[in-house]
Amino acid sequence: MSKPLALPPSRSLAISSVDEVLALVRARGGRATASRRILLEVLFEADGHLSAEELAQAVCARAPDVHISTIYRNLEELQRMGVIVHSHLGHGAAAYQLAALAHAHLICEECGATIEAPDELFRPLARAARDKLGFTIDPHHFAILGHCESCG
């Protein structure tokens, strides 16, 4: 349900099933391989925030010997297709999730707590950036750091 703030619709597809994505892959001349299908299954089952490493482990649980480089290559293609996005929640690995589930993150620099921020919070910023700077923001890609309630 959470929609990107003001992005052209083409950048975020309304994808709802693994088979749908695989059909899209085929339509682009790609192949519906086992590693691709399983990666998608994992992505659809998870609630987001998985690193490439974690995805690789989950995929390998169902199909051993899927190499992490394959995970990365498939993640990259799925991103090019607009099916998934990745975001940076801190200094470590990127987090991948379905584009439709993307949202902004607030991360506490002290304790590392991750807060999922509703897009409404970014509306005034999005409007000001567009009106004053002609810039359309995508608040999902990089987390916003700061300090949570308990760390003050």
Provide the mask over 12-51, with x wherever binding to DNA is found by CB under 7 A and - wherever it is not: -------------xx--xxxxxxxx--------------x
Q: Which is nearer to its own copies, 36 or 139 (CB)?
A: 139
Q: What's the rounded Cα separation, in Å, for the pair 8 and 136? A: 10
Token readout for 133 is 């700077």
Q: Which of 22, 52, 93, 148 binds its own copies (CB under 8 A)?
A: 148
Token readout for 83 is 């099916």
Q: What's the rounded Cα separation, in Å, for the pair 60 and 81? A: 24
For residue 72, state whether it binds DNA (rule: CB under 7 A).
yes
Task: Determine the interface stretch with its own copies among 20-28, 34-42, 48-56, 115-123 (rule: CB under 8 A).
Answer: 115-123
Q: What's the rounded Cα separation, in Å, for the pair 122 and 21? A: 30
- Residue type for position 42: V
Token readout for 24 is 């899209």
What is the smallest separation between the CB atom of 102 and its own copies, expressed in angstroms?
12
- Give the number of other Cβ atoms within 10 Å of residue 100's Cβ: 17
Q: What's the rounded Cα separation, in Å, for the pair 130 and 84? A: 25
Contact residues: DNA, CB under 7 A: 25-26, 29-36, 51-53, 63, 65-70, 72-74, 76-77, 92-94
Contact residues: its own copies, CB under 8 A: 7, 88, 106, 108-109, 115, 117, 120-122, 124-125, 128-129, 132-139, 141-149, 152
